[in-house]
Amino acid sequence: MSRHRFFVPPDSIVENRVSMGPELVHRLRNVLRLGPGDSIVLLDGSGLEYTVRLDSLRRHEGEGTVLGRSPCPNEPNLRIVLYQALLKGDSLELVLQKCTELGIYAFAPLISERCVARRPSANRLQRWSSIVLEAAQQSRRAVLPPIQEAVSFTEGCSMAPHPAFILWEGETATSLKRALSAAAIREAGEVGLFVGPEGGFTLEEIERATASGIVPVTMGNRILRAETAGLIAATAVLYEAGDLGH
């Protein structure tokens, strides 16, 4: 049976005792109609899955008992950090939702020269977090990808793990496929992927990235929208690494 899954703050689980807050209790009791004796899966973001029996669900708090804990087999071995430039309107929401389903490890919003979108408001950040949370629960992940604070392109370049790749429509020689092969991606623990805004990266940005050891790559002749490119590139990376079934 596939049980309902919820992320909880790490301190909700102390040894075998679980305490649950009002939102989760509401969801369990009023939305899913669960009660004492039913069991669910809780995730503390560490990569472990906790099978939990519900003991009591009062109005504002609930309690449960950990019946078992095991490492979740659903996380990719390769950790992809997506350095995604801010996008217009709600486009970043699609990126966050789909890339979380796919298995991205962390999101690093990037403010690059041609970004039209502004730094996200607190409201928007909260909305982004709940999109990632919902997608992570639904796709049965055990790690909740963090959305890091938005950084400048230069900061992004200096923070990025290696190997790292930057999608650039001006690149004609090196495909992502060749670059992944050259980087022996199956042996890499972590990889950075840089994706530009609607207007793309500037030549200066590409030069700066290259100077930081980030490799400009192409994914062929068709022009992908800014909101699509990261998902397609991340799929290729996980596929190559054997993390979409091996």
Q: Buried b / exposed e across 215-241, counting CB within 10 Å, b at 16+?
A: bbbbbeeeebebbebbbbbbebbbebb
| Residue 19 binds a second copy, judged by CB under 8 A | no
- Round to whole Å and give the CA distance between 18 and 39: 12
Q: Distance from CA of residue 174 to its chain's centroid?
A: 26
Nearer to a second copy, 33 or 222 (CB): 222
Residues 6+ apart with CB under 8 A from 43: 5, 6, 7, 8, 49, 50, 72, 137, 141, 142, 144
User: Please, what is the minimum distance in Å from the beta carbon of residue 91 to a second copy?
Assistant: 12
Q: Which range touches a second copy (CB under 8 A), out of 8-16, 110-118, 187-195, 233-241?
A: 233-241
| Residue 74 binds a second copy, judged by CB under 8 A | yes
| Residue 198 binds a second copy, judged by CB under 8 A | no
Nearer to a second copy, 20 or 42 (CB): 42
124-143: contacts with a second copy (CB under 8 A): 138-141
Q: Which range touches a second copy (CB under 8 A), out of 19-27, 28-36, 176-184, 194-202?
A: 176-184
| Residue 223 binds a second copy, judged by CB under 8 A | yes
- Round to whole Å and give the CA distance between 229 and 5: 29
Nearer to a second copy, 103 or 109 (CB): 103
User: Please, what is the minimum distance in Å from the beta carbon of residue 231 to a second copy?
Assistant: 7
- Round to whole Å and give the CA distance between 77 and 186: 9
**Strands 164-167 and 215-217, bridge-based pairing:** parallel
x-or-dash pattern for a second copy, window 99-118, by CB under 8 A?
Answer: --xxx---------------
Nearer to a second copy, 110 or 236 (CB): 236
Question: What is the 8-class DSSP label of residue 202?
Answer: -
Q: Which residue has the tokens 């996980």?
A: 238
Instruction: List the one residue out of 109, 112, 108, 82 whose CA is nearest residue 206.
Output: 112
Residue selected from 41, 86, 92, 98 as contacting a second copy according to rule CB under 8 A: 98
Residue selected from 92, 131, 206, 219 as contacting a second copy according to rule CB under 8 A: 219
The kind and range of the H/E element at 209 are helix 203-211
Q: Which residues would be at the binding site for a second copy (CB under 8 A)? A: 73-74, 98, 101-103, 138-141, 175-178, 217-225, 228, 231-232, 235-236, 239-240, 242-246
